[in-house]
Structure 1
Amino acid sequence: MRHQTTLTDLARLGFADLETSRERLAEFDDSVIPFFAHAADPDQALLLLGRLREGAPTELESVMRDDAAAARLVRVLGASMGLGDFLSRRPSELSAISDPIAGPPGAAEYTADILGSMAGLEGDAAVTALRVRYRRHLVQLTAWDLEQSDPLAAVSVVAAALADLAGAALDASLAHARTVVRFPAADVALTRLAVIGMGKAGARELNYVSDVDVIFVGEAADGLSNDRAVEIATRLAMETMRGIHEPAYEPELWEVDANLRPEGKDGALVRTLESHLAYYDRWAKSWEFQALLKARPLAGDLVLGTRYVEAVAPLVWSSASRDGFVDSVQRMRERVTQNIPGDELDVQLKLGPGGLRDVEFTIQLLQLVHGQSDPLVRQAATLPALIALADQGYIGRVEAAEFSRDYRFLRLLEHRLQLTKLLRTHLMPTDPEALRILARASGVSASGVELAEQWKRTKNAVRRLHERLFYRPLLSAVAALPEDGLALSSAQATARLAAIGFTDPAGALRHIAALTGGVSRRATIQRNLLPVMLQWFAEGADPDHGLLAFRRLSDDLGEAYWFLRMLRDSSGAAQRLTHVLSGSRFVGDLFERIPEAAAWLESDSELRPRPTAVLLDEARATVARHYDDADAAALVLRTARRREILRVAMGAILGTITIEELGRALSDITTAVLTGALAIAHRYGDGIEFAVIAMGRYGGAELGFGSDADVMYVYRPAGATDGEAQSRAENIVRSLSRLTEDLRTPLDLDIGLRPEGKTGAIVRSLDSYRAYYARWSLTWEAQALLRARGAVGDDPLIAEFEKLADEVRFPPSISDRDVREIKRIKARVESERLPQAADPSRHLKLGRGSLSDVEWFVQLLQLQHGARIPGLRTTSTLGALAVAVDAGLVTPADAAKLRDAWVLASRARSAITLWSSKTADVLPTDRAQLEGVARLLEYAPGSASLLEEDYLRTTRLARHVFEREFYGLPSNPAPTTA
């Protein structure tokens, strides 16, 4: 009786809208009710069944008389609104439900059946027949799929059948195209056209709703020219595509996507085989060979298609040897992830982290690397490729089994999601009801909550795929007996290391052996951690140096408990370590002297500059502790300086400090070491006062790595005679140079900005400075004093010197003649001081729009307006520029351009030193060096050209401002005429 079906019964069957469902079920016989227990969405199935009852009662009754057919129909309707709409639109196709398949037919059977359905039909009628018959087969395949007891095992069978069905549809559409193109029939018959399946279609792993990627190859039979054949084949290809996806009485099937052809959308739709090969030989990019890995004759002339695939195969399997191949593959995967909208990132089943693309890209990369020498791994489809890689020992069987299961699970979810509305989607639902329906459809989870948890676990497992499949076997290559039975040969391991970016893979393999050999606690921990660390090293700009530096560091620290604990328990610190070691030779060199600094990587606070007062107190304490041993005290001071430079270097690389903070920190470190050195060289009661005046970038607290420390020295007699005071001051200067000399991290105390330059006295008394500036001072010397700042020494003397400097650098007014002199000197600097053959657009210090332009412009403003605008009386370039904006001397837009150029040039100078451990002032032209600098400037991998473009554009804009505001030139001067 109807009333015996309670709401509880309906809920147990899976219905959600219980009252409505009970009303609708009243229209059907009780025998149909149990079938809904196997429907993904019983409510949807019942709704669609009701529509069929209203629109096609006779056809529906024929199906419902057979319990097995009725059960299949309910399954299909519960899983796919799209197929339900098709059956409502074409009720005669309900007979497909009554005609079940024991298994998917082959491609030939599909083709013959679709062509048979089109026999005798023309125009839109033929296209309609093609699409209807395609969807009839889709209904039968869906019914078969949904009845499988092991849906994961069926995924590959269904995907292959979908690819065969797509190929059959293309074959039928091409056959129809040959009857409608407006060319002589004889010429059409002599035109061969092969449709090459790419991507999932080529690999026979198609989804229910996918774009079908193709490449068209044309050729003439004897009696027709190739040019004529390509013309006809192009029209045939266009008509073939229209037959599949142009609007018609029956909706389109799917998009035929030919954009993987040479030159993409801009390239010819059809080429001859010879034209394809000429393009691939000369112009093709690495990603195109990766795409060709899955190429397969799909439709049309299969003989021509086979020739095409055989011809491109050698190019595909040698592509991994191209320069930067792996880099380009990894960048392409990163770009895919970066282009995912933010609100889709966590629900992207295909493209997101831990999605299908992670599996596919990794397996393809392994294939292309090892397929160069091993034909057995040259498989088009993902799962057969995974099996082949395991059979050949490139990955472990256990890992292969795990990731085969993960991949099948993700593909199953993809299939069920697309079946719902027959739409191309890869977004996992977040709505609990939608998750519940998906769980019922997939048949692998009991509930929506369980399905969401299973998907999360699978994503995490897949995300570790690259590490587990690409890196761990490298350890097995140096182990006597790996646990999972996998051991790469040395040649295989070397090839894999080369593929991931090591330029000396044999050397890297030796480092791995040294790090993981033996039974020590350190070796055990590093055996477990190195697979991850190798991945991190490979992501760096210089993996070889990173691994070498890590080996040296490990040797230095030995079995130190804190180091091993940090590696084991703090993945953040370990990853930071690989980042700084693979990105900076400068840091690697300092680590050799101060290995214990690795402990700082666990804490952001340890990577921040230490306060100035702390540094000064440490310097004074060092001198007090070694009062009677100047050399010992100086050694401790130099070691402390290296330590603090290493600290801020790591902070700069890891982004814990800004470029302004870096400049102040390096200046403070310099001040600290000079404070200690002066305390040794200048003892209390020696008859003079003495001070070190910071100049240039040191005076502005704008030092970078490798910068000279510009200084001037001043003294004042305090009991000694003038002659004795001069002699003692000179001894102090010489002592400062000796005590601070450091071959590892040089400190160049440059006194080139003193009065009279290189020909002037190395140290002067305060009175001598006063007399000189009063009588002889040149404009450039007043300009140099703009960044003069008392750094170290006797405070009264510093105060007096700075008072004197203010009188010189901030005059009540500056004459036009002096302004012209400044501009003249600047022009001379540009023409004479720039190194011979140096590119002015790339010189970071003296080039166009670089540091010099910005600093000279700001300094001219300070000389002109510093007397009346107190804020301009600062040694900071950016500080003075900001005040100039507030005072209306510079527009905010112009100041922003100048600031951007100054910051970028400053960062690039420091990055060059960090990367190479050498000082240079020219933006590199070597791509590897430029890439290393770019990575330190936080550009994405492969951004060398982007850094170059950014620098040239930024400095060009700054130069325009400089020429207009400093030299008074027009922004865009009109060309002169004779």
Structure 2
Amino acid sequence: MPAGDRSSTLTGLARAGFSDLGEAEAHLAELAESTGIPSAELVAGASWAAAPDAAVASLVRVARRDPAPVAEVLANEHGARAVWSLVGASDGFGSFYLRHPSELVDLRVPRAGLPTAEELVAELRESVGAENGFASFAGEEAWVALRVRYRRMLARIAVFDLLSPDPVEVLPAVAAALADAAAAALEASLCVARTKLSVRGPGGLFSREEIEATRLAIIGMGKAGARELNYVSDVDVVFVCEGVDGSDLGPSRVIDIATRLAVQTMRGISGAEIEPPLWEVDANLRPEGKQGALVRTLDSYLSYYDRWAHGWEFQALLKARPMAGDAALGREYVTAVQPKVWTSAARENFVDNVQRMRERVTANIPAGELGDQLKLGPGGLRDVEFTVQLLQLVHGLSDEGIRQRSTLDALDALVTAGYIGRADAATFGHDYRVMRVLEHRLQLRALLRTHLMPTDADALRVLARASGLAESGPAVRSLWEQIKREVRDIHVRLFYRPLLSAVAALPEAERSLSTSEAHDRLAAIGFTDPAGALRHIAALTSGLSRTATIQRHLMPVMISWFSEGADPDMGLLAFRRIAERLGSTPWFLRMLRDSSTAAHSLTQVLSCSKYIGDLMEWIPEAAGWLDDPEQLRPRAGTALQTEARAIQDRHATVKDAMKSVRSLRRRELLRTAIAAVLGAIDIHQVAAALTTITEVTIQAMLRAVRREIVPPEDDSLEFAIIAMGRFGGAELGFGSDADILYVYRPGDVDPERANDLSRKIVAALRQHSEDHRAPLDLDADLRPEGRNGPLVRSLDAYREYYSRWSLSWEAQALLRARGVAGTTRLVTDFRALADEVRYPAAIDLAGIREIKRIKARVENERLPQGTAPERHLKLGPGALSDVEWLVQLLQLEHAHAVSAFRTTSTLEALDAAVDAGYVGQAAADRLRAAWLLASRLRSANTLLSGQTSDVLPADRRRLDGIGQLLEYPPRSASRVEEDWMGTTRRARRVFEKLFYG
């Protein structure tokens, strides 16, 4: 051949996919000579092969033995495409045709689809001449005939699969056909076994009548039972037997015959014969595994399952179906075990045991295989299968619609029923099909059982071509890595979903109750209005919508969780309102169903806090925070300031701006409340967050109001807001007022006009701060002269007042004065003025005596009428005011000399008193404990009821609710009360000694 022609030939071979061009050229020449088919036509056909070199080498070996069938199949258009595709993807089939060249001829016939189950049974029974349950011949000859015919049918399935334009789409049908082929093989092998064991066969032991009187059913388990088998997979089975009604055979004789039939049936499939085994028949899923009897009667199986079976055995039974043998007995077995399968999830720790079993499977994979395990590794097939099976078993007791054997059918059913979101299911299903296609192509290669992704470049290239899923070896590996990540992510979210354990733990009776039973059950678990609760449940779960379907699944568990809260009725009502506001918003129900914490957290906050329920009704999207701990962290003041300024930039009028600022405040109050109820933040963080929110709100209001009220020509007017009381001390709780003072300095503005503008600013601030959903009371009662004094004064007026008429209580009030909004220079000057008053150089003994007198009068006169003093959280003995007045007295006396006393924080000042030696550490600890407990109880009282109150309730149910918010165990009302009384009693003794002594 001229050099140019040969170069062109080699180029054509490379384009067709050949690697070893020299050897390929020689093989093609030999094949062309032996079959009479031109080399060019052979090269074109070989381009269909995933591994052209291997394909032509296989056909050359077959042609050397018998060229006629090779020539016949290659001369046929369909046959050529089929044989190139098959032997190009499977060296195993190349070896099969080398042993049986004449089988190639079967590939010539075009077939419209896959062989049916009936066709497969007919073909394999015919291979052994089966009639009336017996084969016409037995022994090695029969096993060979059966195995050869089986591989002929397997080739038909493989050709359909390989020539399919979309192997991922046809995967379920291919897997079902493979399972049907396995069932047909078992049926034919059982026919041979009956013949072999009858006295008419070789080595017969039993009469034909005895064998006919022995009913043996082969139950398919695992992938075989689910009709989702691989090309080469262990076929999991169990054998069940019974005697024919009216026969004389005793039970032991029936079991003896059935056991020998089972052994021979298994040998026919997987025993060592001239023709290689088909696959392993695995009966180890039987009771007691390898140590247990190979064959049992139906009653024996049921007795075992009732008394000794483990949870994993019921999981294995999930896919059981009659596969071969006595079909009626097989159906009896499956019918009898199904109820046990669907009640198994109610067993103690069932979900945990399944989860641990999956983890053990992963842990037992050799380290070197972990990243390549297509079946068992993280993100592999088992992650999909275990997830689907666990969801089925947990929810299948009360929902028959998800009782499917096939993984993909079950996945579709779980989506329809709302147990899995559509997006997750679509990803799961697609990735599962792709992995199964990869698994099939890997097993076809040598017709051997394998689940390892190759790492060799040539093997990956062949896998890519055989599967049609990628253009190259690296691309198919990249696809596998992507699938692993997707599958693992969904598996972890669904497989470890807490609702699974919660649903599994529900008593069966609670999953489906009559109306009267549900009414009684709701009353028993703590609902005070069961009829109302039933109405809410009906409103949430009625109808055929997907939302209602998912709610029906969620409701039994959520009702149980609501009952753990302080007020289940309140929680359920709030949940209904939120659910109705969100409507069919997909993320909400998906979060409740799939989140690791959200569902339980939502029931907890709604049944423990009316404050949260009321706010969340207007901000329902806040429910999404429960799925992300980061969303529950209080936001920094700088972030809130930035958002508030952006709001003002977007809105032209103060009314519109303030509406948005109020929304911002409600949102952040809700965030802080949820975090507090869930224990994500402590009382100090709560106070800091609430103070920051209030500061940002007031600052934003002042900017907006000033912009509207103060014209540019009066811009030199300075205005500031001074925080007082607990606001000034950054010690706010839920429901706390914002104590403030207003101060201005005219600058270049006429004093009367400055006063008029300042009063307008104050009026506008009070107007725009009104919020009926989350009240913000700007309380200016701590101003000079109290309620009788003007709301706003100039800095000079403050200075004159404090220098001439200030009373001791006003100096005491200034101890917590702190600028929070307005002109920075004015804030600094006011602080300097306040320092002169609150940190006096000389102690005014008369003023000190007046403070003590006022404190005694407050205790006697300011308590609400009818309130037990010991229950008042602010004014009662040992409560907030005792601690604060004592600390403030020490500040007035010593802050001029001790700089650490110059703080607006009660607890920081208390620490300073300890450091300076004015209060002992033990005494300070008692005061601190009382102050913190009072602060926590006040906030808890507001969170629970949605209303501000300074009185510890006497109602036991409310006390218990407050206790739950403070992380006491349920039914701790008495303990809450006792802790409060004891703590304040000890604090009062310290107070009386140090304050009055």
| One-letter code aligned to 1:283 | W
Equivalent residue for 1:352, pick from 363, 370, 377: 377
Change (3 A) 1:287 1:109: same
Aligned to 1:415: 440
Shift of 1:163: 0.7
* Whole-angstrom distance in 2 between the partners of 1:529 and 1:445: 37
Displacement of 1:510: 7.1
Following superposition of structure 1 onto structure 2, how do residues 367-766 of structure 1 map, counting pairs within 5 Å?
A: 367-392=392-417, 400-465=425-490, 467=493, 487-488=548-549, 490-494=551-555, 518=581, 528=587, 531=590, 535=594, 537=596, 544=600, 548=604, 555=612, 573=630, 588-589=678-679, 591=681, 593=683, 680-681=913-914, 683-684=916-917, 733-734=922-923, 736-740=925-929
Q: Distance in 1 between matches of 2:399 and 2:237?
A: 27
Structure-1 separation of matches of 2:882 and 2:446: 77
Could you tell me which residue of structure 2 aligns to residue 59 of structure 1?
69
Secondary structure at the residue paired with 2:328?
helix
Whether the aligned pair in 1 keeps the contact of 2:541 and 2:552 (CA below 8 Å) is: no
Is the CA contact (8 Å cut-off) linking 1:208 and 1:415 kept in structure 2?
yes
1:835-875 per-residue CA deviation (whole Å, 9 max, x = no partner) reads xxxxxxxxxxxxxxxxxxxxxxxxxxxxxxxxxxxxxxxxx
CA 153–515 in structure 1, closer or farther in 2 if over 3 Å, else same: same
Distance 1:508 1:298 in 2: 51
CA deviation after TM superposition for structure 1 residue 586, in Å: 12
Maintained 8 Å contact 2:561/2:603: no
Once structures 1 and 2 are overlaid, which stretch shifts more, 231-240 or 97-106?
97-106
Task: Write the distance in 2 (CA, Å) between the matches of 1:482 and 1:38.
Answer: 54
The reply on whether 1:155 has 2:165 as its aligned counterpart is no
Conservation of the 8 A alpha-carbon contact between 2:311 and 2:344: yes
Q: How big is the shift at 1:215?
A: 1.0
What is the rounded CA distance, in whole Å, between the counterparts of 2:256 and 2:595 in structure 1? 51
Could you tell which deviates more after superposition, 173-182 or 187-196? 173-182
Separation of aligned partners in 2, 1:46 and 1:569: 62
Match of 1:113 among 118, 123, 126: 123
Task: State the 1:211 CA deviation.
Answer: 0.7
Q: Which amino acid aligns with 1:334?
A: E
The whole-number CA distance in structure 2 between the counterparts of 1:108 and 1:173 is 16
Q: CA deviation at 1:170?
A: 1.1
Deviations 1:391-422, CA, capped at 9 Å, x for gaps:
55555666655543333222211111111111
Aligned position for 2:365: 340
The equivalent of 1:15 in structure 2 is: 18
Name the amino acid aligned to 1:220.
G
> Does residue 201 of structure 1 match 2:219?
no
CA distance in 1, matches of 2:579, 2:10: 64
User: Cα 1:349–1:576, aligned 2, differ >3 Å: closer, same or farther?
Assistant: farther
> CA, structure 1 residues 482+44, in 2 after alignment: closer, same or farther (shift >3 Å)?
farther
Higher CA-based Rg: 2
Q: Tell whether 2:302 aligns with 1:280.
A: no
Match of 2:957 in 1: none
Distance in 2 separating the partners of 1:47 and 1:914: 77
Superposition TM-score, scaled by structure 2 size: 0.55
Equivalent residues of 2:387, 2:494 under 8 A apart: no
In structure 1, how many angstroms separate the alpha carbons of the residues matched to 2:685 and 2:220? 56
Report the AA paired with residue 448 of structure 1: G
Alignment match, 2:752: none
> 2:150 matched to which residue of 1?
134
State the AA in 2 paired with 1:271: R
**CA shift digits 1:736-785 (9 cap, x unpaired):** 54445688699xxxxxxxxxxxxxxxxxxxxxxxxxxxxxxxxxxxxxxx
Q: What amino acid is aligned across from residue 217 of structure 2 in structure 1?
A: A
Match of 1:39 in 2: 49
- Residues 537, 547 of structure 1: 8 Å contact kept: no
Contact 1:39/1:79 (<8 A) preserved: yes
Cα deviation for residue 596 of structure 1 reads: 5.7
Aligned to 1:169: 185
Which residue matches 2:271? Answer: 246
Q: Which residue matches 2:28? A: 25
Deviation at residue 131 of structure 1 after TM alignment: 1.7
| TM-aligned CA distance change 1:547 to 1:53, over 3 Å | farther
Aligned residues of 1:371 and 1:377 also touching (Cα < 8 A)? yes
**Inter-partner Cα distance in structure 1 for 2:428 and 2:573:** 30
Q: Does 1:98 align with 2:123?
A: no
C-alpha spacing 1:65/1:556, structure 2 compared with 1 (3 Å): closer
Structure 1 CA distance for aligned equivalents of residues 96 and 388 of structure 2? 37
* Offset of residue 545 of structure 1: 6.0
Give, as a single letter, the amino acid of the residue that structure 2 aligns with 1:548.
Q
2: CA distance, partners of 1:107 / 1:297: 13
Seen in structure 2, the aligned counterparts of structure 1 residues 735 and 372 have a Cα distance that, compared at 3 Å, is closer
Offset at 1:436? 2.4
Instruction: Using the TM superposition, give the Cα deviation of residue 69 of structure 1 relative to its aligned residue in structure 2, in angstroms.
Output: 1.3
Q: State yes or no: 1:325 paired with 2:355.
A: no
**Contact 1:63–1:98 under 8 Å retained in 2:** yes
Measured against aligned partners, the alpha-carbon deviations of 1:73-97 in whole angstroms (never above 9, x if no partner) come to 1111110111111111222322332
- Cα distance in 2 for partners of 1:304, 1:446 equals 50
1:83 match: 93
Structure 2 residue identity aligned to 1:446: E
d(CA) in 2 for partners of 1:573, 1:79: 51
In 2, Cα distance between equivalents of 1:51 and 1:633: 101
Deviation for aligned residue 1:483: 15
Structure 2 letter corresponding to 1:490: Q
Runs of at least 5 residues in structure 2 that lack an aligned partner in the other structure: 33-38, 130-135, 198-203, 504-536, 635-670, 690-729, 732-814, 817-837, 840-850, 852-877, 885-905, 936-963, 971-997
Match of 1:219 in 2: 242
Deviation of residue 357 (structure 1)? 2.4
Q: Secondary structure at the match of 1:344?
A: helix
CA-to-partner distance for each residue in 1:706-729, whole Å, 9 max, x for gaps?
xxxxxxxxxxxxxxxxxxxxxxxx
Do the aligned partners of residues 513 and 34 (structure 1) sit closer, same or farther apart at CA in structure 2, a change above 3 Å counting? farther
Q: Is the 8 A contact 1:477 1:493 kept in 2?
A: no
8 Å CA contact 1:556, 1:595 repeated in 2: no
Query: Once the two structures are aligned, what percentage of the paired residues are identical?
Result: 44
CA RMSD of aligned residues (A): 5.2
Separation in structure 2 between the aligned mates of residue 591 and residue 397 of structure 1, nearest angstrom? 36
Q: Is the 8 A contact 1:76 1:143 kept in 2?
A: yes
User: Could you list the per-position Cα deviations for residues 22-50 of structure 1 after superposition, in whole angstroms to 9, with x for gaps in the alignment?
Assistant: 33323233211111222111122122122
Partner residue in 1 for 2:296: 271
Q: Do the aligned partners of residues 551 and 420 (structure 1) sit closer, same or farther apart at CA in structure 2, a change above 3 Å counting?
A: farther
One of 53, 56, 79 as aligned partner of 1:69? 79
Q: Tell me by how many angstroms 1:279 deviates.
A: 1.8
C-alpha change, 1:682 and 1:9, in structure 2 (3 Å) is closer
Aligned to 1:93, the other structure's residue is in SS state: helix
Distance 1:235 1:676, change over 3 A: farther
How far has the Cα of 1:468 moved from its partner? 7.6
